[in-house]
Structure 1
Amino acid sequence: MTAEALDRPVCTATIKDDETVVITIDAVEKEFASMPEAIGYLAETAGELRRPLKVTAFDPSSTTRPETSLIVGTDGSVDEDTSVPAKKRVPRRTGPSQAQSTSKASSTSTAVRDTPPAGQTAVIGAHFVPDAAAAEAADAASQAGQPNTVPEARPALPVVRQGPAPAPAPAPEETPLPVAPVQVEPGDPRVQLRPQVKAEKAAAPAREGFRGWWNATFKANLAATPGELATRARRARIQRPLDSHRTMAVVQLKGGATKTTVAYHLAATYGRIRGGNILAGEFNENQGTLGERALAGAHDRTTLDLIRNLSTVTRRTSDLVRYIRPQGDDRIHVLASPPEGADRRRVDGTSVKAAHDVLLSLYNLIILDTGNSAQASTWQAAVDVADSLVFVAQNKEDDLRLLEATIEGVKAQGHAAKFGQSILVITNTAQPNTERLARLKEYGAGIGLAAVVVVPFDRSLQEGQDFDYEALNPATRQAYEEATAALTDQL
């Protein structure tokens, strides 16, 4: 295909930092939102010419290959033009070579400065003695008016003085200073064999979007975009090591305020990005919807069945197979609440704490979906065992009022100190009220919550359908990643 391409028209593609592309064909510019669109335009041009098109791609942000020659076919295929060597940016020479050059110049200067005048036959210490033949050659060159090409003089051995050398003066005796014993406390960083925090690695090349495709296809080294770097930073926060197992409770006294949706997707984000043993559990005094919207299991056992048979669970994950429901690619487990008609006399605060104590030994992270009554012992037990709270509200007026009631209920239970380790997740409606959204944010910040995150409207979450993480809009995923990262920051 390279042989068919001609040098006319002159085509260039300049990649900007925001991944937009400016195509120039014979000095006529046209901008495209993405490289695929730009390649489509170039393929159309190649089709009109009925031959492949040569394109020179420029990426000013690349530190290694700022310019690459490509061939775009009439079918939209892109190959590297091997007939033109890729221009690589040569790294600038730094300190060591300059220091070496400076050292060589200094050495030469010293040699010239220490070379004795003609006719000198002996020197002491660091002076030099010129070779006799070399001196004669230098004189002949001088008389002939030619430059002196005589090699540098060889260093002479130091002249040994006659007579006994004077005895060196005795060195004064040094009095050793007293050495105080070093006191080392347990955990002192001076005795640690390994650093607790690894040094940050240099930013890796782009792996996503067009830049990631370019790097993978042409073995290039394009830098990641600011958006990709922000995603990496969020994922690093979510993956941060924790020193113990943790529990989070999602609370809001209003029914239908997205508690179950937020609880599941926080757990799924942990499962997909962090991994490990993650549980989304429903401890509800009323029938919940977690079991209905999550993937079905091979059984219909619930929290009530686990509580009834708690004495048979021996803190092994194999004992929980009969009660939990794996969630496929989300890599979490779900423990659902019993149906409305079940006997709930054994589902109380005491049994919830007993079940949580067993589950906490088996799961690294537990996200609890709670009920709608601050007076229920199950709700109080969930708030009590939680290390952090996740308050939720939709962008609705009644959600705001009941959010205030939820905050007062947590305060009444004596857990106001947890606000500093808790977050608020606001879910927008199809037509969000910007003034009310601002009030919700201001309220969350005013009571001392660690973070307030807004989840955009997503139709797949608003119609009561089964949860499908893959169906979420990219902005919704990003919001849940930010909420999960903010929550992990507090654990």
Structure 2
Amino acid sequence: MTQDIQNGSTGTTLMLIIGESQFILDGQVIRVDAGRSVHQAAIAYIAQAASGPVQVTAVDDGGTQQLQVGPDGSVTSVGTAPVGQGAEREGSVTPTGQGPTTSTDRGVPAKRAISPTGETHGNAPDSAHSPTAAPDPQPSDQNSRTPYANDARTPYAPATAQPVAAVAPQEVPQSRAERRASMTFLPGTDEAFSGMATPAKVGGWHGFLQSIGLEKKVKGPTPEQITERAELRAISQHWAGPRTIAIVNPKGGAGKTPTAVLLAAMFARWGGAGCLAWDNNETRGTMGWRTEQGPHEAHVRDLLGAADDLMRPEARAADLAAFVHHQTEDKYDVLRSNPRSIAPEERLTSADLDALHRVAARYYRLIFIDSGNDESAANWLRMIEHTDQLVVATTTRPDHAEAARLVLDDLHAQGQAAAQLADDAVVVVAHADQNEAPGGEYLARFEQLARAAAPIPYDPGMRAAHLRLDGLRPDTQVAWRHAAALVAGGLGTQGQTV
């Protein structure tokens, strides 16, 4: 690694990924002491080993920055005017903030970014707003919509919505009383949250570069941060009444368990406690193997035996801890199946499923059910009747995708309620093997069959023995955040099944 940094001036570009307490430099993990800036530690690490300017592609959960790091610790963003030998760098400073802090727009191409609300951000030229300006070119490659279209390490950025021309309503004169009733000096909820009412702290690379004087201070959040806040707000809300999310695909190995676990983790991390991941699998379900075990070995059969007691008025929420396994990092609970028993011993009837769901709905606000593989099983069919939001999990393998398509098709034959679930489904498409082609084509097709489709990039952390959000790369966490926000978008209008 040191040799790579020393040779950085020959044209090598290093890949730097920033995490919460560590950074990854071209595959090498370097941990950072608590309380120290990970961004600053990464720059100092590169500078210490560099013999000349080093080109760096720097990634964090706020986006990607192209940087040049000098052996003196100076940082220059791509687009800054070239520096001659011994000349003072424009827009370059050391990580400690020493050195010239003058920034310039020379050599920086004008950029225009459109937020999810259609607003324009950044220092776009006046011609961008001119009626004669040429429209932005539309990508022709379907894969450009995925987080891994060009490089598996490129962070996911949800496609921004195109602004829709609004039709001006006819003005209706208001009386003075009506104006008084509708007027307020307080910001709206959306304004306050997005940071338009109060300047918000800018994080990520933008915040780091601003803190050392390399970027001009900007008012308000970046487009990426606006998207992040909107998605986190969707995930963090609480609905009136419990919601059940079923994760389905009749093909084994299609990603149902990781999808159930990581969606539960995302909602619990950002929305607070009250999230349950339930392994409704009678054929040796592995959710218990992929998650943290509590101080006992209880599983779904144990909870079923105690269901009546847990529904008594005197039952306490803490009593449930004897039957579920709390995830100490990601803050949700797991209801395990029994992987040591054969299927006939573990099959649940419709009445069993109802009893378990009554308990879950009493103690949890969000219930994520990993459905198993048998669509004809009584517990699978009854689960669908309790479902508020359907999630179909698949990988980029053709057989997994075809099974996902067929389950959507089969639900249309099971009545109006099941057909509506299929139409409103969210399909999660995981790039499970880095040797497979990206999933742009899969996304395009599933978006025609369901309400939305969400891509998940290839990540070795998805194969870990225990699934944790912090075990995934920043771009993968962003992709799961986007998937969770899509799921949240279907929960507000659904019925409350108990």
Q: TM-score under structure 1 normalisation? A: 0.60
Deviations 1:77-114 (A, max 9, x none): 32488xx999xxxxxxxxxxxxxxxxxxxxxxxxxxxx
CA gap of 1:406–1:199, structure 2 versus 1, over 3 A, is closer
Structure 2 counterpart of 1:400: 401
Query: 1:451-483: CA deviations, max 9, x gaps?
Result: 101111112213x52213212122211111111
Task: Find 2:294's aligned residue among 278, 297, 301.
Answer: 297
* Alignment partner of 1:209 out of 204, 208, 233: 204
In the TM superposition, what is the alpha-carbon distance from 1:271 to its structure 2 partner? 1.4
Structure 1 Cα separation of the partners of residues 474 and 487 of structure 2: 20
User: Structure 1 residue 423 and structure 2 residue 442: aligned?
Assistant: no
> Paired residue for 1:329?
329
CA offset digits 1:253-286 (Å, max 9, x no partner): 0011110011000111111122231111111122
Q: Answer whether contact 1:458 1:473 (CA < 8 A) is retained.
A: yes
Query: How many Å separate the matches in 1 of 2:222 and 2:236?
Result: 21
Q: Deviations over 1:151-192 (max 9, x none)?
A: xxxxxxxxxxxxxxxxxxxxxxxxxxxxxxxxxxxxxxx89x
Three-state SS of the structure 2 residue aligned to 1:321 is helix
Cα distance change on mapping 1:57 and 1:308 into 2, 3 Å: same
Write the mapping of 1:197-236 to structure 2, written as runs, cut at 5 A.
Answer: 198-201=189-192, 202-203=195-196, 204-213=199-208, 221-223=217-219, 224-236=221-233
The amino acid that maps onto 1:470 is D
* One-letter amino acid of the structure 1 residue matched with residue 380 of structure 2: W
Deviation at 1:318, TM superposition (A): 1.3
CA distance in 1, matches of 2:478, 2:74: 35
Secondary structure at 1:320's aligned position in 2? Answer: helix
Q: Is the 8 A contact 1:304 1:344 kept in 2?
A: no
Please say if residues 249 and 373 of structure 2, whose CA atoms lie closer than 8 Å, have aligned partners that are also in contact: yes
Greater relative contact order (Cα 8 A, min sep 6): structure 1 or 2? 2
Q: What is the match of residue 123 of structure 1? A: none
Give CA-to-partner distance per residue, 1:416-451, whole Å, 9 cap, x none. 1112432001111222335xx45533442333x111
Distance (whole Å) between structure 2 residues aligned to residue 282 and residue 482 of structure 1: 23
Percent identical: 23
Identify which of 70, 80, 88 aligns with 1:40: 70
Aligned residues: 334
Residue 307 (1) aligns with residue 337 (2): no
Q: Match of 1:107?
A: none
Amino acid at match of 2:319: D
Cα separation, partners in 2 of 1:214 and 1:43, compared to 1, 3 Å: closer
Aligned to 2:477: 477
Alignment match, 2:47: none
Change beyond 3 A, Cα 1:43–1:339: closer
Counterparts of 1:487 and 1:409 in 2: how far apart (Å)?
21
Residue of structure 2 equivalent to 1:6: none
Provide closer, same or farther for how the CA distance between residues 30 and 330 of structure 1 changes in structure 2, counting only shifts above 3 A: closer
Instruction: Within 5 Å, give how 1:72-471 maps onto structure 2.
Output: 72=94, 77-79=96-98, 198-201=189-192, 202-203=195-196, 204-213=199-208, 221-223=217-219, 224-314=221-311, 316-341=316-341, 344=345, 347-414=348-415, 415-428=418-431, 429-434=433-438, 437-447=439-449, 449-462=450-463, 465-471=465-471
| 1:401–1:36 CA distance, 2 compared to 1 (3 A) | closer
Q: Residues 116-141 of structure 1, C-alpha deviation per residue, up to 9 Å, x if partnerless?
A: xxxxxxxxxxxxxxxxxxxxxxxxxx
Gaps of 5+ in 1: 1-18, 20-28, 46-52, 59-69, 87-189
Distance in 1 (CA, whole Å) between partners of 2:409 and 2:374 is 12
Report if the CA contact (8 A) 1:206-1:221 is conserved.
no
Per the normalisation by structure 2, the TM-score is: 0.59
Q: Distance in 2 between matches of 1:416 and 1:396?
A: 25
- Give the distance between the partners of 2:394 and 2:379, measured in 1 at CA: 21
* Structure 2 residues without counterparts, runs of 5 or longer: 1-38, 40-52, 59-64, 76-86, 104-180, 492-498
Contact 1:285 1:378 in 2 (8 A): no
Q: CA deviation at 1:54?
A: 7.9
Deviation at 1:323, TM superposition (A): 0.6
CA distance in 1, matches of 2:211, 2:377: 56
Q: Distance in 1 between matches of 2:316 and 2:325?
A: 16
- Note the C-alpha offset of 1:215: 5.6
Question: Would you say the 8 A contact 1:297–1:324 is kept in 2?
Answer: yes
* Paired amino acid for 1:209: G
Kept in 1, the 8 Å contact 2:282–2:347? The answer is no
Q: Which protein shows a greater Rg?
A: 1
- Asked if the contact 2:260–2:368 (Cα under 8 Å) also holds between the matched residues in 1, the reply is yes
Q: How far off its partner does 1:197 sit?
A: 6.7
Higher mean alpha-carbon deviation, 282-291 vs 425-434, is at 425-434
CA–CA distance in structure 2, aligned partners of residues 334 and 80 of structure 1: 53
Offset of 1:57 from its aligned partner? 4.3
* RMSD between superposed Cα atoms in Å: 3.7
Deviates more, 1:30-39 or 1:453-462: 30-39
- Greater CA drift, 357-366 or 338-347: 338-347
Q: Aligned partners of 1:292 and 1:413: how far apart in 2? A: 33
Structure 1 residue aligned with 2:26: none
For 1:249 and 1:326, locate their aligned partners in 2 and report how far apart those are by CA, in whole Å: 20
